[in-house]
């Protein structure tokens, strides 16, 4: 009986409380406070978790050293390609001057400029239709040189690894600057012309160098950067220096060839002197 009386008393108290005007607003406010507290607690717990997970969510420098390392890893597996938009329509007009090549091939790899013939340190590429074309990075890397040069037709150099660079000359509308990180196939300029090889017309002059020594691009197009790094490149002088040495050798040979003629002339002079002496002796004997 007592328990029933207690329940009845509690029910009547609750009903009295609910009959008051401020009862429902008070319940709503209390409920809203509880819900808001729960939301705030949940947000704070997530923020604390993100601060203590050991990962830095700050801004990342995409042009920093980390990105350069990524480029070096990627380009090690890339194959060298011709630096043109459409390789199918490309024509190599002037080939690389090979110091060990045949004489006929060497003659075709000479460029006539300023009344002299200069060996070609790269290859000159044109399109079959003779039109302007996009010049693209032959391999991923970092631009180390951008230079305006009327004689060479402007220059862009890209470093792909320690000591390995590609050089692009006879270009216009250069779209990169020193320090730019480029991917293989990125457009870096448009084809152009140069004073040093006006006969080539609209073209791009392309070089591959290892430790400053120019190598034949045709031998490494289709090969990986790692293969070039492992290749044994003779530490020879550049084609232009070899040509100068050949010219000096030829001059020395010409001088040595001229020496025997001087010696022959001296012998002839001596012989003529002897003849004159004999003639004088003969005339003296006749007089006596």
pLDDT tens-digit map of 34-81: 888 877 877 777 666 555 455 454 444 444 445 555 555 566 779 999
> For residue 263, is it within any domain?
no
Residue 222: exposure state from Cβ atoms within 10 A (0-12, 13-18, ≥19): exposed
For residue 176, what is the domain's CATH number?
A: 2.70.70.10
pLDDT at position 31 over 50 = yes
Q: Which residue has the higher pLDDT, 280 or 213?
A: 213
Residue 228 tokens, joined: 């070039």
- Long-range interactions of 23-29: CB distance < 8 A, separation 24+: none
> For residue 261, is it within any domain?
no
Give the pLDDT of residue 232.
80
Give the pLDDT of residue 256.
43
> For residue 230, is it within any domain?
yes
> For residue 114, is it within any domain?
yes
Least-confidence region, from 17-21, 37-41, 149-153, 253-257:
253-257
Q: Which residue has the higher pLDDT, 182 or 197?
A: 182
> For residue 26, is it within any domain?
no
Q: Which residue has the higher pLDDT, 156 or 275?
A: 156
> For residue 140, is it within any domain?
yes
Give the pLDDT of residue 211.
94
Q: Quote the domain boundaries for residue 107.
A: 80-242
Give the pLDDT of residue 57.
40
pLDDT at position 182 over 70 = yes
pLDDT in tens, 198-244: 888 999 999 999 999 999 999 999 999 999 988 887 655 445 444 43
Number of domains in the chain: 1
Give the pLDDT of residue 26.
73
pTM confidence score: 0.59
> For residue 125, is it within any domain?
yes
> For residue 139, is it within any domain?
yes
């Amino acid at each position: 009986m007592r328990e029933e009386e207690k329940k009845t008393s509690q029910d009547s108290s609750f009903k009295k409380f609910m009959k008051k005007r401020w009862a429902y607003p008070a319940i709503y406010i209390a409920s809203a406070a509880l819900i808001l507290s729960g939301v705030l607690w949940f947000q704070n717990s997530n923020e604390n978790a993100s601060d203590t997970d050991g990962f830095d969510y700050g801004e990342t420098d995409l042009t920093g050293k980390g990105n350069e390392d990524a480029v070096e890893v990627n380009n090690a597996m890339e194959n060298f390609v011709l630096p043109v938009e459409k390789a199918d329509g490309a024509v190599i007009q002037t080939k690389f001057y090979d110091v060990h090549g045949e004489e006929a091939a060497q003659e075709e790899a000479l460029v006539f400029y300023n009344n002299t013939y200069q060996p070609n340190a790269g290859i000159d590429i044109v399109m079959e239709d003779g039109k302007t074309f996009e010049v693209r990075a032959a391999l991923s890397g970092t631009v180390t040189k951008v230079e305006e040069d009327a004689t060479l037709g402007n220059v862009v150099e890209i470093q792909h690894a320690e000591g390995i660079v590609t050089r692009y000359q006879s270009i216009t509308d250069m779209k990169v600057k020193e320090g730019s990180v480029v991917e293989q196939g990125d457009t870096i300029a448009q084809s152009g012309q140069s004073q040093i090889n006006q006969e080539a017309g609209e073209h791009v002059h392309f070089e591959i160098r290892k430790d400053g020594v120019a190598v034949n691009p045709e031998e490494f197009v289709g090969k990986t950067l790692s293969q070039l790094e492992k290749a044994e490149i003779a530490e020879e002088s550049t084609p232009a220096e070899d040509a100068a040495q050949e010219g000096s050798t030829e001059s020395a040979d010409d001088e040595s060839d001229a020496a025997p003629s001087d010696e022959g002339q001296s012998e002839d002079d001596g012989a003529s002197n002897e003849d004159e002496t004999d003639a004088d002796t003969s005339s003296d004997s006749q007089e006596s």
